[in-house]
Amino acid sequence: MIIPFKPKIVLTSLFAVLALAALSIFFLRRIDNLVNIDLYHYGLTFDYSWADQYWANTNLFLYCQTLALILFGNSIAFFFSYTRNRNSFSSTASSLLLCAGAGLDIVSIFFIFRLASIVNKDLYLYGLTFSDEWYTAYSLNYSLSLLLVVFAGLLALASAVIVYASTRRARIMPTKILNSILMANGTLALALSIVLSSSILALVGLGLLFWGITFAYVGTSEHVKRVVLETTVSSQMAVLSNMLKKRGFEANPVYLPPSYFRNSNIYTVYLQESGSTQLPSPEMTPDNQSGFLFELFENPKAVLMTPPGAELAQLFEKTLKTSFDKVDLKYLQKNLPELLIEELEITQIFEMEIEKNTIHLRTFGSVFSNPTSQTEQPNIWSLFGSPLSSALACSFAKATGNPVMRIGSKIDVKGKSVTAEYVILQSEHRIFHPI
């Protein structure tokens, strides 16, 4: 799902976080004036044994809140930058700063609890007498300061999620949410165990961290060894390419959009003899358009077939939960990197640039670009390239609604990077021209 991006609402919440954090400091200052001035009228005697602890916790609270205010202010600056430039770095930076400020808010809660313990327990050992007059003012300011800190932290976390998720596809995965909650609470419990010298909190924190890490690495995904994938795919690609070359089909493959067929879910590639420039008309498409397609034509001499990356392109649509004939190239440029790198783990780096009618791609660390794999050897590049290259061409043709031709590829065997170019074509009277 895509979270709607409402800049004014997000900006309002960010300023609200800033105001709540500032108000918490204001009410703590009122508590500080009460302790350092008013309580002496109720029998309190000064002593460094309680004053040092009180000052230390007060200063630590103020340091945490002041630093949180700085982080919140910088997050607003990055958010303004994002609204102007719409770059992912600004939104990510704003989210991280909000999370860091929320973390400081959580830490400052401990110090305000320590202040409450000093006022409600220790000061009575130094002559303080209870009175509703001072206690009412103290409890009001203490409650307001604590609530403001809690609300500021929660609102900062919520704002961080909204800022980050509003520019990306947010996929709700219960297992990831569970392990994140367990690890976060485990880390917090360990931190508090160090501060409070509590062995119980340490054991609880270690237990939560253990199960959080376990759930993070234990899943139901099925994996296959890379060597098995390379052996299976490369042999099939090599046989197909050699068969087509022997029949004279050595022109650059042209991937056709769904508008050529009655079935909008079909992926096809059209190959001709070297030097030919004609495209098939819709009347040339076969009636049977389900399953595997392989049709030979004599005039012009060409072949219309299901490309090697058809199933992979369908997997892209299934994972993104959308049909590519309903989106455009900008959508693919935005969502394909996360899909290929994080979701399917096909490649380590994926870069896509759109320049008029040309699409430039660069992949690094692809499972299909190993130097031992035959799917990216130069003698096979002239046709389909790897299954990933073929699947991307299928996706581009479906998204643009125009034929797409793969015009060149280059592999860096040592760097394991592959660059490729695709040209979007326009069909006019069965002769293709660049858009």
Range with the lowest mean pLDDT among 203-207, 318-322, 389-393, 411-415?
411-415
Residue 97, pLDDT > 70, answer yes
Angle ∠(238,242,248) on CA atoms, nearest 5: 150
Mean predicted confidence (pLDDT) in 325-342? 85
Give 373's pLDDT tier (boundaries 50, 70, 90). Answer: very low
> What pLDDT score does 92 carry?
81
Domain ranges of the chain: 7-169, 172-220, 227-434
Q: CB neighbours of 384 closer than 8 A, spacing ≥ 6?
A: 237, 240, 241, 253, 269, 307, 308, 309, 390, 406
C-alpha Rg value of the chain to the nearest Å: 32
For the chain, give the percent of residues with pLDDT over 90: 1
Give 433's pLDDT tier (boundaries 50, 70, 90). Answer: very low
How many whole angstroms separate alpha carbon 272 and alpha carbon 389? 19
Cis geometry, peptide bond prior to residue 387 (ω within 30 degrees of 0)? no
- Token pair in block for residue 230: 């390379």
Give 382's pLDDT tier (boundaries 50, 70, 90). Answer: very low
- Token pair in block for residue 121: 């327990």
CA-wise closest residue to 295 among 264, 262, 272, 312: 272
Environment class of residue 354 by beta-carbon count within 10 Å: exposed (0-12), middle (13-18) or buried (19+)? middle
Within 166-198, residue ranges assigned H as helices are 174-196
Confirm if 268 and 306 have CB atoms less than 8 A apart: yes
Mind listing the pLDDT tens digit for each residue in 130-188?
A: 988 899 999 899 888 888 888 888 888 888 887 777 655 444 455 555 666 667 667 76
Higher pLDDT, 307 or 228: 307
Confirm if 382 and 388 have CB atoms less than 8 A apart: no
Confirm if 406 and 253 have CB atoms less than 8 A apart: yes
How many whole angstroms separate alpha carbon 121 and alpha carbon 255? 78
Beta bridge partners of 419: 362, 410
DSSP states of 215-249: HHH--------HHHHHHHHHHHHHHHHHHHHHTT-
Mind listing the pLDDT tens digit for each residue in 36-75?
A: 888 898 888 988 888 999 999 999 998 888 888 888 888 8
How many whole angstroms separate alpha carbon 195 and alpha carbon 119? 20
> What pLDDT score does 3 carry?
45
Within 367-421, residue ranges assigned H as helices are 378-381, 387-400
Strands 268-272 and 301-305: what pairing? antiparallel
Q: Which residues of 24-55 are buried (b: 16+ CB within 10 A; e: fewer)?
A: bbebbebbbebbeeebeeeebeeeeebeeebe
CA-wise closest residue to 105 among 158, 33, 53, 52: 158
